[in-house]
Structure 1
């Protein structure tokens, strides 16, 4: 009995939502799971989804760029998913791109199934480009030289400065950040958050703030205690969380819990539908968001999501 009681509580510091989430998971785990033929579980039955053959962006090319540029004068935080873990976020007329993969540089080993939202050079107008770690779908040699061909600042995780410069076509990073470190880039303040990703010990997430708006980009990571606790004090409006559930990355349920425990107002999933061998459906993520009461959005690639408080 004492062991069961002890296991109710996460170890170390946690957020209030983290404690409530732990109680909820414990209650769910106490419900008997019925047997299904072939040793399958209800989770397998309900959440298995075949990846699509091809994903077409809602907007791409010049149409996509035009929408981004036209949003400059509008209030709020404007978000576009670029595919995989890539996002373009615009606040107060300034834009930051995170982990863009706008090429097919990993072919033929890994063929992309999502169409390009834009050519890298078409995004050279952005103000900052940020990379979470060294894996090529987050630090892409086929993308970085193009998006950095304008005047954008370049930020990467600490410890990979030489590799980042090489992948960017000889352009050295303007800043490299370890967990807990921060850098002001134009109107953005970029703070590195702990992440835990196999094969990338340098991996970090980021909380980025501009004025009243803040968002969290988890990068690639397992969900580990301490991540939500590092994000919660920032009061983020949106959390971008990976859901593929393979190669040392959290699954959809853990992604929803991370967003909830971090206190994000809205959760947006990523790291899926880019490669056939490294994807997941969104059902597990959605189901856990519903269970927790976590607001979420499921944008298509190239679709705008706006958080607007009127300023």
Structure 2
């Protein structure tokens, strides 16, 4: 009898994004068995984009998405994704997706897809940063004291390999002041299927992981160290050029503004060879409790 290999944490993420089709334009997704109190925002964004993409011809890749986080998701309950086919044009296709739990919307997404076309080309240059192989892994950065402080969260396997160029927020008090810019290398921790939609959705998932750190860094307060309450409010992405999410990409994040209990962060994804592949903007609710 042949032994069946235990699925990796990346395998489980790919399965998480492989939604069940319940009916025409209705899909159902689930959360990982061991989830935090509410559904991770990157998960619901990635699943909603899968739902939209499953209703669009494969020759029209997504070029932008705009989303709102309406309510915290319950990880113990499946999420139903309802797709509205807004428009099918000659070059562009538009879809709207509403994620529903307990009969109420928790998330909404609009996405636009386009036939591949040629046109003018320019892009910002990638910042000069160390190669990812020269940087410590997440596990190597986690000191025994931090492992004890964060408990199961510190031990949880992660489908995305993250290498911090900037000092991570949760270590800054140990090692001194931190740059107000947040830069990390990322890649899926394994080999993904060749389906381009999978790679886009994995990048959407990963884009919610470190973005708001750039806001907190401007003020010297940090998740898990200070009494900070936060939640993603909205999220927008523009996909500029083809890429693979299982190859190293640089996520360069900064925060232009914070006010009214909200913080704005912008991010740029660059491929290893310096191509600007995606741009991200997110606003989050951020409350620092004295």
Q: What is the TM-score of this pair, normalised by structure 1?
A: 0.26
Structure with higher strand content: 2
Structure with the higher fraction of residues in helix conformation: 1
TM-score between both structures, scaled by the size of structure 2: 0.27
